[in-house]
Structure 1
């Protein structure tokens, strides 16, 4: 498992530098992948989707969920890095819906 502090630190840096990443986990994750692929000498753009998914840990990439949770924590700690406008409102609504779902039986 990746060092959560290192991932969170990188997430914070990206959110500070890239406003688009504040509003999109996909943009944020792509920036994370660019960082790790460059550091590990992996050509991100030559990986097939199956190869990427099956060898995620082997290639040294953090899991999408790790990045998402790190983003949530960073944005909760640093509100100035939170999603803006409609994205922020959308996430707040979805959180409420998910909490209700989580309390229900499946």
Structure 2
């Protein structure tokens, strides 16, 4: 929107809403715009993350087809990144499972 469009919208809003309700309407509209922008940024971040995961998946397929030998640096980086992610998931799974198994053992011994 250009400057003149904003002026026309402001004048129409002033005539329709009056000077008392116009500031409240402007605040409400600005909140909606901020919410819409936040949602759009969230969706944009999710889509870019999904695209990155898809690219890693494709690189892993290529690496598997080549037998994980003589890989390009791109493929090697993707494979190492996936291995690190798998290790972090495994470590967090083991940590979360250890206290539960200990509590089951103490419950069984009672």
TM-score, L = length of structure 1: 0.27
Pick the structure with more helix per residue: 2
Q: Report which of the two structures shows the higher radius of gyration computed on alpha carbons.
A: 2
